[in-house]
Structure 1
Amino acid sequence: MDGVTATGIRADARIVARADGRGGTVLPVLDGDGPLALRRTRSDGSEAKVMLVGAMSGPLGGDRFSLTASVAEGARLHIGSAAATLALPGQAKGEARYDVRLDVADGAELHWLPEQLISARGSDLYVTTRAELAAGARLVLREEQVLGRAGEDPGRLTSRLTVRVAGRAVLDQELSCGPGAPGGWDGPAVLAGHRAVGQLVVVRPEFMEHPVQAQALGECAALIPLAGPAALVSAVAADALRLRRLLDEALTMLR
């Protein structure tokens, strides 16, 4: 943990994955502590697996968290989390921030599949996820937000997701929900009364030659081709379980 100040906790984590030259992946850098503890788990084949373990509550008001993952050429990395992230109000005033930066080289693959982010009543969190991919990189990225715990009004949650391939933006979107968010976030054009919202981004070089076809996935999800070798699934649901089911079904279809 890098420090505790009057405005909250600052914590950083860093992961570097490289090919080992024998068909596997090594992790020369696996550095995180406090709220962002990192644990390597059993690997499958050439893929290295890392689990993000929340060692303490947070992010709370005023906290600043950041996580960076870099996947070098030929490496394969899977990052998950042991439990949902719970944004809570804290003694320190002000907005909390959680910034994620993902870098994937040519011929490398990253699966970023954390558990849900839950916005508890009274919290205020701004989360950014930025993925920078080389032209021949592969990515599976899942992002899920739940507005409030059971029977609870949500806090303020703003989420920005940016994906760039070969230096060109294929996705740059921001959603703000909860008290103080711009009007209409809970209206029919956005969440329509649902309390769970998620995105699934899949980047594969073969999508340049064979792009996915836009289609509705039931009443609460849609598959959208993006400019470049990428596809986006957006979904809303009544709760986290139904949202996960929608996104899992979409990922199975894209595979």
Structure 2
Amino acid sequence: MAVRKTPIRRPSKSKKSNTTFKSTTFYSLVFFGVFLVVLYSQRNALAYYLGFKTDKVIVETRTVPLEKVLDTHIEKSFGIDVSEYQNKIDWDEVKELEGGYPIEFVFVRATVGCDRKDYKFKKYWKKAKEKNFICGAYHYYRPNENSVAQANNFIENVTLVEGDFPPVLDIEKLPKEQSLERLKVGLRRWLEIVEKHYGVKPIIYSSESYYTDFLRDDFEEYPFWIANYSAFYEDIDDEWSIWQITENAEVKGIKGRVDVNIYNGTSVDLKEILIK
């Protein structure tokens, strides 16, 4: 007599498990979408933290065309400043600003904070020298990091010789973890260490508002390089050695926008500030 086999019933997926899976997938996608939105919104802060950008907060609102600013100061010396942010530069093409204004000097970012180098510094420094530009190197100062370590970072990576600009301290941010007085102590310590090493007084770079509010009265013995992209000055303040007039210029040979600077004097006067 044959034995009838009872068919094996396979458990079917319940509606509840399907609903749970769909719900989990939906919330995962929502979370990932929110994460991407937050990441995009904080891209500048992240770039600053990693040292790729200087996180400038100056908004360019000048109504006077750039050419008029340059024409007004046509007897002065013009230059640019670059960093790894200008990712591609054909130095054979870099000769003049848009409009035919000759470029005489180039500043290159060398270091950031305690331990980071601008990864384009050595290449850009060498190329700018080969093209006979007057060269200067600058350090982007991070207020909440040790000033001695920052000074040593710059010194270890930058060699300056006769005919170069003095070293430059770029300070744009207010501290989050220290008082303003402690910041000034750190800045002065950096300046003194670097001056002792190179034998020349450094230049301080900052925005005009930062300079007016926090630096002018305490560091008046130093040359200043001031950024103001909104004002139109027919006469540059005597206390300014260099005026950065825009961050949105176009220069043949450089992909993207470039900072433009006016030295407060002629090409002959410029030699007075260079390392002897």
TM-score when scaled to structure 1? 0.27
- Pick the structure with greater CA Rg: 2
Which structure features the higher share of strand residues? 1
Q: State the structure with bigger RCO (CA 8 A, min sep 6), 1 or 2.
A: 2
TM-score when scaled to structure 2? 0.26
